Chains A and B, each alone.
Chain A
Amino acid sequence: MSASDKHTTHFGYQEVPVEEKASRVAHVFDSVAARYDLMNDLMSMGIHRLWKRLAIERSGVRPGHSVLDIAGGTGDLTGKFSRMVGPRGRVVLADINESMLRVGRDKLLDSGIGGNVEYVQANAECLPFPDNSFDCITIAFGLRNVTDKDAALRSMARVLKPGGRLLVLEFSTPGNPLFSKAYDEYSFRLLPKIGELVAGDADSYRYLAESIRMHPDQETLKAMMEAAGLERVEYTNLTGGIVALHRGIKL
């Protein structure tokens, strides 16, 4: 990496100054927060629920565990984890974006989930928790929006207890070239249109599609997790590799 590269990072297909990415991402999510769940259902045709379910199955969370749900957004995973850890456990829903956190908190409270859930507005790169404090950390569809992904993975590995699991559910690279072509057509033509119709914001959804293409592929992310100090890293491709679920264990 050359000296000039250090000061810019990608925001979708654009190069932006490093210090600007967080605020731009924040702007995108401020704009989509209210209709985030509806859009997720529309864009993924409901399959995102299955992807998240699989992440929960792989988490191995039991009663009494502490779970950190980073970029938990509207609390899909947190709600289920809260039931699984029971009254003796705790779930922390962390998100960098205030609007998303507020939508998530309201949704969880409305569905009667509370007591063992805490809400923290935090940046994944520098998590405000002591070392070795969580049995499981999940980050679902959040890592690609983080400015410095290596720092975020290191920070997650730090707060994970020895033996704890990190699960990264994120868009990835489809293996089949034909499928990949169809997927490109869908996400660059249809997706911004749906975004415009439903959420009134095509740009934000164009950013989502672009940021997915700029995200590291399965093997690169696996290597990044290993570099951050996680072991036994493995990944599962879901829906032809549109999404990959990576799991690493801190030993």
Chain B
Amino acid sequence: MRLHLEKRPQPSRRWTDLSPLLAVVITMLAGGALFALLGKNPVEAISTIFWEPLFGEFAFYYRPQLLIKGAPLILIAIGLSLGFRAGVWNIGAEGQYIVGALSGAGVALAFYPLDAWVVFPLMIMAGALGGWAWGMIPALLKLRFGTNEILVSLMLVYVAEQLLAAMALGPMKNPDGMGFPGSRNLQEYPAAHNADLIAASGLHWGVVAATVAVILAYILLGRHVLGYQIRLSGEAPRAARFAGVNPGRLILFCLGASGALAGLAGMFEISGPAGQVSIDFNVGYGFTAIIVAFLGRLHPVGIALAGLLMALTYIGGEIAQGNLGLPAAAIQMFQGMLLFFLLAVDVLTNYRLRLAPRPETA
């Protein structure tokens, strides 16, 4: 007898829904084993990561932090999921996030110290436009020259990082900063500050935008012809062509929309929680959002949940570092396992395990 994989005629719905949960459980087990090998109590470590931020002693502080950490992930992942569904692979959300942030901050710094309500809406527009424009580069290159959008969008992340450093050291440097790099702190410029809508709740405009994005993406994919075209292109590209889907327009839309959303996420971050243009402003939201998109099954509601889960592992992981002395690398490994096991369990969506007699060999 041997174990063998048999392709399902259709992907299993049950496994599609179950596999993220199963992946979380396996991650907890494997992560627990890892923590035990490091000489920590695995039950305590896992419960610190998942329980402490939500219901622990200082949950009043950590719960808002979940929104702050989760909002940009969800906002970016929603955009990415549109493209991923259509087979358009934007890997460069990190770069679009940076350029969106720089565009938004640029508007704020240009208006400083003008105190007018119009500044913040203009920053939002600039943020979205900046991200959109950065996303258009791989889109147009792909349409015009057939370049690979995966490579181009990824490379543009490094270009954006250099741009960020140049801005923090040059044009956007705080004139009152004694020559040190970094812009003015936007948190101290009320007209541009993306403050919590209710104090200390973590609920800033980026959270609102993420919620709206989830709802709009849900409607788009479920009810709108464009959403139908996106799904069709991803699932059956040939059929999509026969159905009159214009692949060029779809590429422009997917890269543009995901760029704009990533740009918005960057703008809300730089005007709120981060506060200033600094060399190390970006911390990898654009890459983590790829995990979030897949963990959420490329479904808007799933992405919202996955984004919050990812935020939970970040914040819980930090608490475990501080309280239990777990090394940062162990936490990163724990997060990596989540995607790894998800992909592994996903096999069961398309295949079923069968015990088959050993085939007769000739």
Chain A complexes with chain B: no
Where the two chains meet, the residues of A that have a C-beta atom closer than 8 Å to any C-beta of B are none
